């Protein structure tokens, strides 16, 4: 026989697990395709009054063809128009912002980007990665300190911070000439 307190704890744990499985579609999108956002992590905390969800440990967020991975992600929600509804996060509206910390990866079929931290802003539909940023498109590689990706436009801007942006561009998928590779080793 399960006590009333144990039953409440099990129910709360079930709700938390359900939240980690699927988050409702957001106004802004990680992916140009849109659709539901799937969230997987080792742990999660829901702060209903603050309309915030924090997921920690091996965080993996997938929407359509886009994936965001990090050590920790905080999802901030707007208030639901028309008042709360039944279900997990019933008072939550659209995702307004995501903040990612530690080993951040943003991956789509066209690009792979990494950084120390990142954010997603629904109002501007932009993803920003900062700190030791590496951007890979095909065989081309760019390094800098701050990357801003405009999701609907498919446009990215990389800044060097205190250093300079460094890029290696391989035209038409050609291999880098050995003389250029040898020159870098010296």
Superfamily of domain 4-185: Lipopolysaccharide (LPS) transport protein A like domain (2.60.450.10)
List phi, psi (to 5°) of 132. Answer: 50, 50
Q: What is the mean pLDDT of residues 174-183?
A: 54
The top-scoring range by mean pLDDT among 29-38, 61-70, 73-82 is 61-70
Model confidence over 132-154: pLDDT tens digits? Answer: 999 999 999 999 999 999 988 88
Residue scoring higher pLDDT (10 or 138): 138
Give the pTM.
0.73
pLDDT of residue 93: 79
Long-range contacts for 32-41 (Cβ within 8 Å, ≥24 apart)? 32/64, 32/65, 32/66, 32/151, 32/152, 32/154, 33/63, 33/64, 33/65, 33/66, 34/63, 34/64, 35/63, 35/64, 36/63, 37/61, 37/62, 37/63, 37/95, 38/62, 38/63, 39/73, 39/75, 41/73
Q: What is the percent of the chain with per-residue pLDDT over 90, rounded to a whole number? A: 54
Q: Is the pLDDT of residue 95 over 90?
A: no
Domain range annotation of the chain = 4-185
Q: What is the percent of the chain with per-residue pLDDT over 70, rounded to a whole number? A: 68
């Amino acid at each position: 026989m399960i006590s009333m307190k144990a039953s409440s704890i099990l129910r709360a744990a079930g709700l938390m697990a359900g939240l980690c499985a699927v988050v409702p579609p957001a106004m802004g999108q990680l992916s140009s395709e849109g659709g539901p956002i799937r969230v997987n992590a080792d742990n999660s905390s829901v702060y209903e009054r603050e309309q915030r969800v924090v997921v920690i440990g091996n965080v993996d967020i997938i929407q359509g063809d886009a994936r965001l991975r990090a050590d920790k992600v905080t999802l901030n929600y707007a208030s639901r128009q028309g008042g709360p509804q039944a279900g997990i996060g019933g008072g939550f509206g659209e995702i307004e912002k995501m903040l990612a910390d530690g080993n951040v990866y943003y991956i789509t079929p066209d690009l792979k980007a990494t950084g120390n931290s990142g954010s997603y802003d629904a109002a501007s539909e932009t993803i920003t990665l900062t700190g030791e940023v590496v951007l890979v498109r095909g065989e081309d590689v760019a390094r800098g300190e701050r990357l801003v990706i405009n999701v609907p436009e498919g446009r990215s801007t990389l800044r060097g911070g205190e250093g300079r942006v460094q890029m290696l561009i391989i035209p038409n998928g050609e291999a880098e000439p050995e003389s250029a590779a040898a020159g870098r080793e010296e």
